[in-house]
A and B are shown apart, each in its own frame.
Chain A
Amino acid sequence: MSATLQIWLSAFFTIAIYTLVLYKDNKVFRFAETVMIGITAANGIVVTYHNYIRPVVAVDIVQQGKYLQLIPILIGLLMYTRFVRSIAWVSRIPMGFWVGVGAAYILTRNPGVFISQITASFLALNKLNNVVFVVGVISVVVYFYFTVPIRSAPMKGMTTLGKAFLLVSFGATFASTVMSRISLLLGRLQFLLQDWLRIAGV
């Protein structure tokens, strides 16, 4: 595809998507949205097949004769029994396998990450940042302590402080979200103004 056609197509689809917010729901927007979903799904299937499934089958199974790898493929194919009501229960086998593997994975791999997080919160209280950090960790942990009702004044104070820390954290997350959303707009405007209309310097 020539670069010019590619740029014009990208410009058309960008503007088509923005018609939803700048105008209202319309056929052009729906067309662009449908094309995007279709292309994304098709791309996923094609790259998975060419980049992974085909070479793995060609090398591992055909060339090297690792026939045991057919077992997970067969287990995976059992998922499709969901489409036949009388044997739909068979699809629970791969699902059960997956849940079991997932649980084992979390139990064996998560502690390493989690323990590092805990040890990282043991800071020397010789800097204001460290004090704020440690107080924040403790107060938020107290806020999520639901085992017994918290009635005493110091503990109530800690939960209030924990709530304040959480609100600050939510504010920071919201601000980051705004930043990312603006970046999306920025990227599309850079494309429209620089590559398509060429009224801004590159």
Chain B
Amino acid sequence: MSIWEKLSSLDRRYYYVVLILVVALPIIKPWGLPIRVGSTTEDFWKTVEAVPEGGTIALAIDYRSDCIVELNPQVVTLFRQAFARNLKIIMWSNVDEGANVTEPITRAVGNEMGKTYGVDWVNLGYKPGGEVTMKKMVDNFWEGAAYVDMQGTPLQDLPIMQGFSSLRDADLLIDMMAVVPSPAQNYLKMVSIPYGIPMAIGTTAIQAPTEMPFYSSGQYKGMLAGLRGAAEYEFLTRNPGSAMMGMDAQSAAHILVIVLIALGNIGHMMDKKKRAGAPVGGGSK
């Protein structure tokens, strides 16, 4: 049995164990590989920087707990950049788990930077209804948000909500999303394009190719793509966090995947060559 045949018949669980080791080692002992900031991330950063001081960012959190690795660092860094410039953030979720997964991390950043909940930022919780709710938030934001924040506090008791009666009052709309169908594309249709509100997104690597045309066309002013986008954003804002720490492991895993794909293809070609060379009828007499 050749080495290629042995590799192809190996129990796939061995490959899983190797992958786990390759990902785990850089977590235990980071390598510190360099990070180069791409144009999508730089544009995202510039878009946030362009919001006038004291302005408001409307932030939709549209991902569940399965995507916290890629998107939580994006949200944390956005909060740091926004708070450093005294911007206000009004956030809600079109996905049932979204508000819950971001509540502890955003509160931690707020407390760390001396910001006050209800004054500098607010988490309005889960607001179902998709496009209908988006449209409602443009016509009457309070009605669209069902008049309460995540804890059930009436919006009239929150200073940040005074004077914010429509999504049109936002200086920037950001959607951090990882669900299908894309809520970000719906925000484009319902809010950003009709009312001329600049929009940017953060998403997972798996959804980045789907959203990329909207960035290329200028409909999204910036885009954070996956853990790499989060790491670039952390690097750009000088806020090293879990994404930058994870990039070594991500890079190591990519090298392993490339090696395995190459080995798989070479093995396949060798097998094909061997079959082509074998005599018809199953072997010699």
Residues of A in contact with B (beta carbons under 8 Å apart): 21-22, 40, 43-44, 47-48, 50-52, 55-56, 59-60, 105, 109-110, 112-113, 116-117, 119-121, 169, 172-173, 176-187, 189-190, 193-194, 199-201
Contact = CB atoms under 8 A, between A and B. Distances in A.
Given A110-B189, A116-B193, A117-B217, A180 B23 contact: no
A117 B246 contact: no
Contact of B126 (A22, A48, A177, A179): A48
Given A47-B96, A180-B226, A193-B28, 15 more contacts: A51-B127, A55-B146, A55-B152, A113-B189, A117-B214, A119-B217, A120-B219, A176-B207, A176-B225, A181-B206, A182-B250, A183-B204, A183-B246, A187-B246, A190-B246
B96 A179 contact: no
Contact of A187 (B68, B126, B217): B68
11 contacts: A47-B100, A50-B152, A51-B127, A176-B207, A176-B226, A182-B253, A183-B204, A185-B19, A186-B23, A186-B69, A189-B249
Contacts of B38: none
B234 to A, nearest CB: 15
A52 B126 contact: yes
A47 B99 contact: yes
Given A51-B150, A60-B143, A120-B216, A44 B96 contact: yes
B49 to A, nearest CB: 24
A105 B186 CA distance: 11
Given A21-B13, A47-B125, A183 B96 contact: no
Interface residues of B, number: 60
Contacts of A169: 209
A22 B13 contact: yes
B188 interface: yes
B70 interface: yes
Secondary structure class of chain B's binding surface, majority of residues:
helix
Nearest to B152: A50
Contacts of B209: 169, 172-173, 176
B97 interface: yes
Contacts, number: 145
B187 to A, nearest CB: 11
Contact of B206 (A105, A180, A186): A180
Which of B28, B30, B193, B206 has the most chain A CB atoms inside 10 A of its CB? Answer: B206
Contacts of B249: 182, 186, 189
A180 B69 CA distance: 9
Nearest to A108: B189
Contacts of B185: 113
Contacts of A177: 205-206
Nearest to A115: B193
Report which residue of A110, A182, A184, A193 has the largest number of chain B beta carbons within 10 angstroms of its beta carbon: A182
Contacts of A184: 66, 69
Contacts of A173: 209
B96 A48 contact: yes
Contacts of A186: 23, 27, 69, 227, 246, 249-250, 253
A109 B132 CA distance: 13
